[in-house]
Amino acid sequence: MKFSPVKPWHIYLLSALALLILAVFSVGYYHPDEHFQILEFAGLKLNLTKPEYLPWEFHARMRPAFQPAMVVVVHKVFALFGNSDPFTITMFLRMLSGALSFVSMWMIYKCYSTKINDSILQKWFLGLSFLLWFALYNNVRFSSETWSGSLFIIGFSYLFFRSRQPMKTDFLITGILLGLSFIIRFQTGFLVAGFLAWFAFIRKERFINIGYMIAGIFLPVIAGIITDYWFYGEWTLTAWNYFQQNILADKISGFGINPWYFYVEDVFVRAGPPLGIVIILAFILVFIFRPKDLLTWTLLPFIAIHCLIGHKETRFFYPLIGFIPIFIIKATEIVRDKWSSKLLENKYFLGYAKFFWICNEIMIILVFFIPADSQVKIYETIYRNYHNPITLYYFKEDPYARALDIYYYKRKNLNIKKAESTNLLNADTSAVFLIAVKTGDKEIDKIKNKRLICSSFPEWLKKFNFNQWVERTTFWDVYEVDNL
């Protein structure tokens, strides 16, 4: 296979541009926790919501306050410049996520790129490290999975990405990075434990250096306890509360129980079959044939424990996304060295690789145009265009009622009411009011003096209504009713 003369900095630039585009356009949240456990929590300190409107995890004191505190700080800084727009601020937070993720991508790439002795695999590793479609999509999320994963990878790589011998301060900095990843997402503790175990039992690192790492870990943990006190108003150990509620009280099982092989099936589907099967096989091969590898010791306990826990979600593995490129390359080397010395010349293998890269490019383009949550467009339109008190009516579903009610994106002067009948709406003498409807709700046809101001579905895409597929698609429309 022939490659064009692409230099690493070309790929760096392309990856950074993709992250910037996604940070701007991938609005909203991928999973409710990304919003309700961070933004709505921050909204409490920003006087946008009240404790009774927050999820049960707040009252159980089991969510770390580090990321909500970051949101509050960013809001305060933006306020100094007269900007309190939550949509601008969340875009900035996505940019921060992308920047942090880029550093983690670059550092782990630097750690392993010089150890790959084949030019084709080096180029594949470069592309996989910086242009994997779902990694780019995930890397702009201001979620606990993304931030804990990025910080852990930076800590994982910090001791190895430079040629010089690590000093004691390097072990301390590594520990601080690992500690930060832990206080953002407690499950990362299993990765940290595996990482430390490898240094102790395989590398047989000096005890003093491991001690520096452990000391470094405790510094963010202490800072996290202080941050939690500021947020909850009392001293509490959120990590213990999380363990007590989800494991000892087994509340996590209330969200559903899945078989141990759930992750195999779900990764295969979510990553896309061309890559899903490769990822699964790559992890299996490395774990079997590289039992003393740092990757095996670090990641295998994390994966095994998650497979044993009844409730499973693939997002729990998102902190591992940054490791996927090196697993694929290592697995390819294993297959080549053990079973097929001419693997990289095999036309079927190269054809599969070409097919994957084509699919990956298509997926990158698609995620550019698909927001994480299309409903946020409605919130943004209402927030930015209606500064004065106004009423938003709905017939069946409140567009601001999701897993819980949305307060972070809502002005306090927005009054939301259920429309009991179209007759009452037509009798509303307000100069202007709004009404939100879902696809197929014919009640809107009875409303007079209305005009469409926003749709959660792109208007240009509706024009390609082949076989009336638009009518079978669920989306929100918001109308303004003008009685002037």
Q: Render 316-362 in DSSP notation, one character per residue.
A: GGGGGGGGHHHHHHHHHHHHHHHT-TTGGG-HHHHHHHHHHHHHHHH
Statement: residue 440 has pLDDT above 80: no
Which residues have CB under 8 Å from 248's CB, separation 6+? none
* Residue 161 within a domain: yes
Give the model confidence (pLDDT) of 47-88 as tens digits.
Answer: 999 999 999 999 999 999 999 999 999 999 999 999 999 999
* Residue 430 within a domain: yes
* Residue 1 within a domain: no
Domain boundary among the residues 369, 401, 430 is at: 369
* Residue 70 within a domain: yes
Provide φ and ψ at 481, rounded to 5°: -110, 120
202 and 320 housed in the same domain: yes
Give the model confidence (pLDDT) of 109-148 as tens digits.
Answer: 999 999 998 888 999 999 999 999 999 999 999 999 999 9
Give the model confidence (pLDDT) of 303-358 as tens digits.
Answer: 999 999 989 999 999 999 999 999 999 999 999 999 988 888 888 888 988 898 89
* Tokens 């990843």 -> residue: 181
What is the Cα–Cα distance from 211 to 319, expressed in whole angstroms?
25
* Residue 2 within a domain: no
* Tokens 């002037």 -> residue: 484
What is the Cα–Cα distance from 425 to 343, expressed in whole angstroms?
70
H helix runs in 233-346, sequence order: 238-243, 262-270, 273-289, 294-308, 324-338
> What would the DSSP string read from start to end of 370-436?
S-S-TTHHHHHHHHHH--S-EEEEESS--TTBSSSB--TT--TTEEEEE-S-HHHHHT---SEEEEE
191 and 78 housed in the same domain: yes
Which residues have CB under 8 Å from 115's CB, separation 6+? none
pLDDT at position 291 is 97
Mean pLDDT of all residues in 150-174: 93
pLDDT at position 2 is 47
Read off the pLDDT band of 272 (50, 70, 90). Answer: confident
Dig out the tokens for 45 from the structure: 């300190």
361 and 227 housed in the same domain: yes
* Residue 62 within a domain: yes
The domain of 478 spans 376-482
* Tokens 């101001």 -> residue: 453
168: Cα within 13 Å, side-chain hemisphere = 7
Are residues 363 and 272 in contact, defined by beta-carbon separation less than 8 angstroms?
yes
403 and 336 housed in the same domain: no
Are residues 236 and 228 in contact, defined by beta-carbon separation less than 8 angstroms?
yes
For residue 138, the surrounding DSSP H or E stretch is: helix 133-139
Angle at 270 between CA 264 and CA 272, to 5 degrees: 100
For residue 451, the surrounding DSSP H or E stretch is: strand 450-455
Sign of torsion over alpha carbons 181, 214, 299, 124: positive
296 and 384 housed in the same domain: no
- Judged by average pLDDT, the poorest of 156-170, 243-257, 435-449 is 435-449
Is the full-model pTM beyond 0.85? yes
Dig out the tokens for 412 from the structure: 């306090």
Average pLDDT score, the chain: 92
Dig out the tokens for 175 from the structure: 């520990």
Q: What percent of the chain has pLDDT over 90?
A: 72
Statement: residue 1 has pLDDT above 70: no
DSSP classification of residue 31: S
Give the model confidence (pLDDT) of 391-420 as tens digits.
Answer: 999 988 999 999 899 999 999 999 999 988
pLDDT at position 465 is 67
Read off the pLDDT band of 431 (50, 70, 90). Answer: confident
Chain-centroid distance of CA 146 in Å reads 5
Top-confidence residue, 26 or 443:
26
- 114-150 burial, b at 16+ Cβ within 10 Å, e below that, comes to eebeeeebbbbbbbbbbbbbbbbbbbbbbbbbbbbbb
**Amino acid in the structure at residue 204:** K
What is the Cα–Cα distance from 223 to 219, expressed in whole angstroms?
6
Read off the pLDDT band of 446 (50, 70, 90). Answer: confident
* Residue 160 within a domain: yes
Q: Which residues pair with 415 in a beta bridge?
A: 391
Domain boundary among the residues 307, 338, 369 is at: 369
* Residue 140 within a domain: yes
381 and 338 housed in the same domain: no
pLDDT at position 467 is 65
205 and 249 housed in the same domain: yes
What is the Cα–Cα distance from 86 to 54, expressed in whole angstroms?
18
Chain-centroid distance of CA 406 in Å reads 19
Top-confidence residue, 274 or 296:
296
Strands 414-418 and 390-394 come out as parallel
Which residues have CB under 8 Å from 122's CB, separation 6+? 113, 116
Are residues 234 and 59 in contact, defined by beta-carbon separation less than 8 angstroms?
no
Give the model confidence (pLDDT) of 215-244 as tens digits.
Answer: 999 999 999 999 999 999 999 999 999 999
28 and 130 housed in the same domain: yes
Dig out the tokens for 76 from the structure: 């305060």
Q: How many domains does the chain have?
A: 2
63 and 212 housed in the same domain: yes
pLDDT at position 3 is 46
Give the model confidence (pLDDT) of 87-114 as tens digits.
Answer: 999 999 999 999 999 999 999 999 999 9
What is the Cα–Cα distance from 418 to 411, expressed in whole angstroms?
18
pLDDT at position 468 is 67
Top-confidence residue, 1 or 25:
25
351 and 392 housed in the same domain: no
pLDDT at position 474 is 81
356 and 476 housed in the same domain: no
362 and 397 housed in the same domain: no
Top-confidence residue, 407 or 471:
407
Of 149, 140, 143, nearest to 181 by C-alpha is 149
Domain boundary among the residues 354, 369, 384 is at: 369
pLDDT at position 318 is 96
Q: What percent of the chain has pLDDT over 70?
A: 96
